[in-house]
Amino acid sequence: MTSKKKQKPKKHTVKRIMHYAAPYKKSLIFAMIFAVLYVVMTLTAPVLIGCAIDNIVTQGDVDFEAAGFFIMLTAFTIAACAVFQWLMGIFINTAAYFTVRDIRSEVFAKFNSVPLKMIDGHPHGDLISRIINDTESIGDGLLQGLTQLFSGAVMIVCTLAFMIMMNYVIALVVVIITPLSMFVAAFITRLSQKQFRRQSATQGELSSYIEEYVGQQKLVKAFGYEEQSQRGFEEINERLRVCGQKSQFYSSLANPSTRFVNGLVTTAVCISGALSVINGGLTVGQIAAFITYANQYTKPFNEVTGVIPQLQSALAGADRVFDILDSEDQLPDPEKPAELTAHRGRIDIDRISFSYSPDKPLITDFELHVPAGSRIAIVGPTGCGKTTFINLLMRFYDVTGGDIKIDGTSIYDMKRDDLRSLFGMVLQESWLYNATIRDNIAYGKPDAGIDEVKAAAKKAFISRFIERLPQGYDTMITEEGSNLSQGQRQLMCIARVMLCDPPMLILDEATSSIDTRTELKIQEAFNRMMKGRTSFIVAHRLSTIKNADVILVMKDGHIIEQGSHTELMAKNGFYTQLYNSQFASNK
């Protein structure tokens, strides 16, 4: 992503957030109305208090009835202030939470539309932090901060009007001194802005680190890596402390600095007001009200500086969120996708090329023609392109050159969902989610009945284990299936594919975590399932692919040998070396 694309969201961040808040403008309007009413009631109270004071200030001439009346009105006004402020909070929070909900939903939906390389290119913990923490900071900081800015602006204008009507000379003194606090706040904002952006990025880095190490605690303990992982955590945590402390230090200077300026304002009002009372220009009650107005006038400036940390944090978080939303989507499906009525399973791969990085080509001029119903095994050393080939076949990644056709139709003329529905995948890394066993098996076919689920589990040789559980198929699986063994998780994934009964199969080390006895049974089930279906088998255990129709031997992104097991062994080439390295007797 270019720097230009990164700068654009920062320039229009507030405008973009308000665009998301637009559907809830009624709540925002009501919040603004109650903000105005709150300000009016707040400014009415000092007038009433001043009137009450003027009725009791003269010795021997105290009007208790009038003073009591003004005190009752003051109490009513203060109660109205509380109610209007409460209503303002309800409406602004409603708009804020719904806006954040919409942004979060759009970010999550974006994960389904961006190319897989975008997800793979970011630490997953960082992405999680953006969708949870950064979106939350938008609601807590920016939207509520903008409300405070609006109510503060209303307060400033109305208070200034009241002061001018009472005594324009003293009002002029207040107006001249108060803006100094804004210059102080602006200077401090520039200092803190960079630190808040750094703090937000470091929070994402820390979330990613925690997510990685908490999820792999078994490996951490198995290799005695506790101290190293702790040191790594403390290093990131210390950087977060430093930038967080700096951002809070700089931003915390704003409030006391502006309060110092406000103290000067109050002092000036008291001195000039006292002189005005002596000269008969103001009454005692009016100067009391004027001092209150001076405080009310300076209060919004304090509030603005008080929300600066929230605003800065919200803007930094919004930039990170919009960075995801501005990511380029994957290539769209064709407007008129090809309709596949028959699935014979013939696959033609015409001189495809691919690389994860432009300067490091991985697959070049890869060509393969697979007859329908063939059983194709792919072997080769780590990093030769076996799994990459599967990713290209499923369009998890797009080729940079060439074409892949199924039954004569380019996969780029199909909808992705239609293409992927043709394949059933069992990967080496099994994935289960927090739901019942039944829901996990029926993940690819949610409308499957319980009898279909049981039949698939039986084919995968996991039905006995499930039936021994207290809740059977209604047993809840914890996150990522941590309450099951690796082999049981893989059998569940196999049952999931067997339930879908797809036209073609992709088995990427599908039995790597299963014991030998169960593996033999699973192989029998797979053999029955693969009969008459085009199947791709990625395997390191070469004993599992001896019956494949064609074995492709890959190295450095190229097919260097192909043929049946017998033919390849007769060539005494690279495949023979791989096979013998696994099965030859130790000398």
pLDDT digits (tens, 9 = 90+) for 519-529: 777 777 777 77
Same domain, 159 and 92: yes
- Tell me what pLDDT residue 182 has: 67
Same domain, 405 and 306: no
Inside any domain, residue 136: yes
Same domain, 377 and 309: no
| Chain segment 169-208, per-residue pLDDT in tens | 777 877 777 767 667 766 776 667 677 778 877 887 887 7
Instruction: List the domain range (segments joined by +) for residue 163.
Output: 3-325
Inside any domain, residue 554: yes
CATH of residue 453's domain is 3.40.50.300
Domain closes at, from 325, 359, 378: 325
Residues 6+ apart with CB under 8 A from 572: none
3-state secondary structure of 532: coil
Phi and psi angles of residue 59, each rounded to the nearest 5 degrees, phi first: -65, 130
Same domain, 490 and 365: yes
Inside any domain, residue 340: no
Inside any domain, residue 526: yes
- Residue length, the chain? 587
Cα dihedral: 48, 53, 56, 57 (round 10): -150
In the chain, pLDDT over 70 holds for what percent of residues?
A: 86
Residues 6+ apart with CB under 8 A from 477: 432, 433, 434, 435, 436, 437, 440, 483, 484
What residue spans of 253-329 are helical by DSSP H? 254-278, 284-306, 308-325
Checking if the pLDDT of 9 tops 90, the result is: no
Q: Which among 257, 260, 254, 265 has a CA at the least distance from the CA of 296?
A: 265
Domain count, the chain: 2
Inside any domain, residue 170: yes
Inside any domain, residue 335: no
| Chain segment 127-158, per-residue pLDDT in tens | 888 888 888 888 877 666 767 777 777 888 88
Domain closes at, from 295, 325, 355: 325
Checking if the pLDDT of 3 tops 50, the result is: no
Same domain, 241 and 367: no
Inside any domain, residue 79: yes
Q: In what order do the strands lie in the sheet with 535-538?
A: 423-426, 504-508, 535-538, 375-379, 550-555, 558-563
In the chain, pLDDT over 90 holds for what percent of residues?
A: 3
- Using alpha carbons, list the distances in angstroms from residue 494 to 414, 484, 510, 519: 26, 15, 8, 12
Domain closes at, from 278, 294, 325: 325
Same domain, 262 and 383: no
Same domain, 360 and 262: no
Alpha-carbon distance of 53 to 362, in angstroms, equals 86
Same domain, 147 and 203: yes
Same domain, 128 and 225: yes
Alpha-carbon distance of 534 to 504, in angstroms, equals 5
Q: What amino acid is encoded at 57 in this protein? A: V
pTM of the model: 0.67
3-state secondary structure of 511: coil
Inside any domain, residue 330: no
Same domain, 504 and 369: yes
- Tell me what pLDDT residue 403 has: 92
Q: Around 365, how many Cα atoms within 13 Å sit in the side-chain half-sphere?
A: 1
Compare 567 and 479 and report the one with higher pLDDT. Answer: 567
| Chain segment 74-99, per-residue pLDDT in tens | 889 889 989 998 998 888 888 888 88
Q: What is the band of 585 on the pLDDT scale with cuts at 50, 70, 90?
A: very low
Q: Which among 475, 415, 465, 182 has a CA at the least distance from the CA of 305?
A: 182
CATH of residue 145's domain is 1.20.1560.10
Same domain, 91 and 224: yes
| Chain segment 527-556, per-residue pLDDT in tens | 777 778 888 888 777 767 878 888 888 887
Same domain, 130 and 51: yes
